[in-house]
Amino acid sequence: MLSYWEKTTLRQFDLIVVGGGIVGLFTALFYSKQHPKHRVAVLERGLFPEGASTKNAGFACFGSISELENDLKNLGHSEAASLVMSRYDGLQILRNELGDDRIQYQEVGGYEVCFDSPDEQRVEFFNNLIEPYLGQRPYSVVTKKGFGFSSKVDCLIRNKLEGTIHTGEMIAALQEKVSKAGVVSFTQTEVLQIDDYNQGKKVLVKTLGESVELIATQVALCTNAFSKRFMPEENIEPGRGMILLSKPNEAFNWKGSFHYHEGYNYFRTINNRLLIGGGRHLDREGESTLENGINKKIEDSLKSDLRMLFGAESHIEIDQAWSGIMAFGENKKPVIKRIDPHLVAGIRLGGMGVAIGAAVGKRLAGLLGA
């Protein structure tokens, strides 16, 4: 039962952001910068973000050659290049807002693992495609020397502008900055329903076993894969991504973010541990879920990949395993739109939340206006 004070003040906001991940926090941050006197709340269903914001691999990447090949087929030349640019720009916003030191950003290069000799003319084609947008030619074919790869690996295609971050530090820094901006954050608060209410929205939430109605002039949906319940007609498909983390091993002292199998699989090192993940293409139906968990078929495939990449004699002990939920659609463009006069959405990040999350949040804040 709410008190008079809670009813008249504490449950009323100018903006309620549903979702406390990368997009939600950046939406709240940029909106608060534009409207410092407005009262803003962020609602998060879990103790930590429920999607992939704190469960990703920490890749600051914007496109491998094989990924761009697919984008080119689906989007055409200009749209594919524009998509790469939006990811690159999003990374710059992330870095500028939070600082490279705090998020432990390292521009160590992104590498696509090639099991056969690549078509170097195709590499130059994509350099030509991207150069007018980035002002640089990021791709080059390099040797596999220094990474301890097996004979199965032929060479690598390097993207010199990609790198890695520390996902935990990124979210912690963002939470701190949002808090300093005066934003109120509620965790373990599930949104059950959003209804029209006077000149705004009424948001029914469940927290600690009781239901409470919050009132807002505007609501921003930043719920990514979990948005279908609020936007049933939107083209959104969940996609679970799994990650394995090895025990420390001195052999894993190299740097870089690595992709293979058209970007579906990836690996990197962190504190002398090897992190490897992906593989949802091996069981698309099983991984189209909103439930966290470990897919045994994919787990076994990733472990097999470790032997293939680093040699059958390598003994890599797995220490941790987890999964995160992403959102995909008919193409890789995010959905950023106004749904009605008091409701907007920034969702469907296509597995590129680190790259575009800050940019989506900034655009969504601009869409909210006054």
Residue ranges and CATH numbers for the domains of the chain are 4-54+169-234+331-368 (3.50.50.60), 107-162+237-328 (3.30.9.10)
pLDDT reading at 369 higher than 80:
no
Give the Cα separation of 201 and 230 in Å (integer): 13
**CA dist 174 to 36, 37, 45, Å?**
17, 20, 18
| DSSP-H helix ranges across the chain | 4-5, 22-34, 65-75, 77-98, 100-103, 120-134, 167-180, 284-287, 296-310, 353-368
pLDDT reading at 314 higher than 70:
yes
**Residue 42 confidence (pLDDT):** 98
The neighbouring-strand residues paired with 106 are: 164
**Residue 312 confidence (pLDDT):** 75
Percent of the chain with pLDDT strictly greater than 70 = 100
Q: Which of 2-11, 158-167, 355-364 has the lowest mean pLDDT?
A: 2-11
Please report which confidence band the pLDDT of residue 209 belongs to, taking 50, 70 and 90 as the band edges: confident
pLDDT tens, 264-287?
A: 999 999 999 999 999 999 999 999
**Stretch 109-123: mean pLDDT, rounded?**
96
CB 326 within 8 A of CB 278: no
**CA dist 272 to 133, 242, 251, Å?**
36, 20, 7
**Stretch 166-179: mean pLDDT, rounded?**
98
Please report which confidence band the pLDDT of residue 138 belongs to, taking 50, 70 and 90 as the band edges: very high
pLDDT tens, 300-310?
A: 999 999 999 99
pLDDT reading at 338 higher than 80:
yes
pLDDT tens, 234-246?
A: 999 999 999 999 9
**Residue 164 confidence (pLDDT):** 98
Percent of the chain with pLDDT strictly greater than 90 = 89
pLDDT tens, 21-55?
A: 999 999 999 999 999 999 999 999 999 999 999 99
**Residue 74 confidence (pLDDT):** 84
Exposure string over 328-366, b if 16+ CB within 10 A, otherwise e: bbeebbbbbeeeeebbbbbbbbbbbbbbbbbbbbbbbbe
pLDDT reading at 139 higher than 90:
yes
**Residue 127 confidence (pLDDT):** 96
**Stretch 86-104: mean pLDDT, rounded?**
97
**Residue 179 confidence (pLDDT):** 98
**Residue 75 confidence (pLDDT):** 86
pLDDT tens, 354-366?
A: 999 999 999 999 9
**CA dist 34 to 90, 97, 151, Å?**
19, 15, 55
Secondary-structure breakdown of the chain: helix, strand, coil percentages, each rounded to the nearest 5: 35, 30, 35
**Residue 77 confidence (pLDDT):** 87
The three-point CA angle 146-147-150 to 5° equals 110
Please report which confidence band the pLDDT of residue 370 belongs to, taking 50, 70 and 90 as the band edges: low
